[in-house]
Amino acid sequence: MKIGLFGINFGIAGDVDAMITIARAAEASGLESVWTGEHVVLPDPRVLPSPSDPQTPFLDPAVALSHIAAHTTKLQLGTGVIILPQRNPVVLAKELASVDIVSKGRLFFGLGAGYLEPEFRAIGAPFEDWGAVTDEAIEAIKALWTMEKPAYKGRFFSFEGIDSQPRPVQKPHPPIVVGGMSRKGARRAARYGNGWYGFLTDIEATTRSLEWIKGYVANGDRPAELGEIEISVTPPRRLTREVVDRYEEIGVHRLIPAFNATTVDDALRFVNEIGEIASTYQRL
């Protein structure tokens, strides 16, 4: 079981000095990875299902991970998740390739379809077509990262006669981790993802998504070259050895607990606590 840390770019970690202190502690504690969240804007006043107070600082994932890369050496860097239909995939492909380069191949590209209509509206992104836009954006980014002469023609994105250099360090591309707890998210993970990410999914919800994914794989929705899908989960409860074992039993490969600290000291205590759990699995 791999153990990561979610929330490295917002809240208390929205302060750059705190972010680097926590990231360095995560690496020193033996954690495998740190993961960002993303909201470009949040509804003000807060309305459900908005996850955070509108005054919560969210650093841009690519900027935050690039800065963390300069202050760490082996810590894996994940976007958990970028809200893909709110992004231009051509620009995003360049940004993420740059993160993979400056980190020397440490990027996980986690993506999701989003769910906050006010955020989509403010950005000018198509809320009604978010699923189709997400699928096309993944295909477009893969084309830019892997094709000798990148070309793509879709309903929302089209290009040809261009190139985008440099390409990512990791080949054929950084691992693509698809978030989403719906059937559509499971199908997208099976079809496009090197991994699936369940955010705040308990054992029951994780098991349900894994069964959906297995069903899509069995039905031929997964390209053979993608191989086994890696399963990552941010659990909704405190991490213990017993919790880790239960997730491992159902086929989870990585747990990414979220910290909700209000001070750096609290965050460091949390990192130390889950680092001790991670170290026991490294010795097994």
pLDDT in tens, 155-188: 999 999 999 999 999 999 999 999 999 999 999 9
Spatial distance between the Cα atoms of 105 and 100, rounded to a whole number of angstroms:
5
Spatial distance between the Cα atoms of 144 and 77, rounded to a whole number of angstroms:
21
Is 2-283 a domain of CATH 3.20.20.30? yes
Domain ranges of the chain: 2-283
Spatial distance between the Cα atoms of 248 and 280, rounded to a whole number of angstroms:
14
- The SS3 of residue 6 is strand
| pLDDT tens for each residue of 103-140 | 999 999 999 999 999 999 999 999 999 999 999 999 99
Q: Are 271 and 5 in contact (CB under 8 A)?
A: yes
In the prediction, which pLDDT does 47 show?
Answer: 86
Tokens representing 282?
Answer: 């490294």
Please list the residues that pair with 179 across neighbouring strands.
197
Write out the H or E segment, with its range, that includes residue 204. helix 203-218
In the prediction, which pLDDT does 234 show?
Answer: 98
Spatial distance between the Cα atoms of 270 and 239, rounded to a whole number of angstroms:
10
Residues of the chain short of pLDDT 50, as ranges, are: none
pTM: 0.97
Spatial distance between the Cα atoms of 10 and 69, rounded to a whole number of angstroms:
17
In the prediction, which pLDDT does 283 show?
Answer: 61
B/e letters for 180-200, b = 16+ CB within 10 Å, e = fewer, are bbeeebbbbbbbbbbbbbbbe
54: left (phi over 0), alpha (psi -120 to 50) or beta: alpha
Q: Which of 50, 33, 32 is nearest to 41 (CA)?
A: 50
In the prediction, which pLDDT does 243 show?
Answer: 97
In the prediction, which pLDDT does 251 show?
Answer: 98
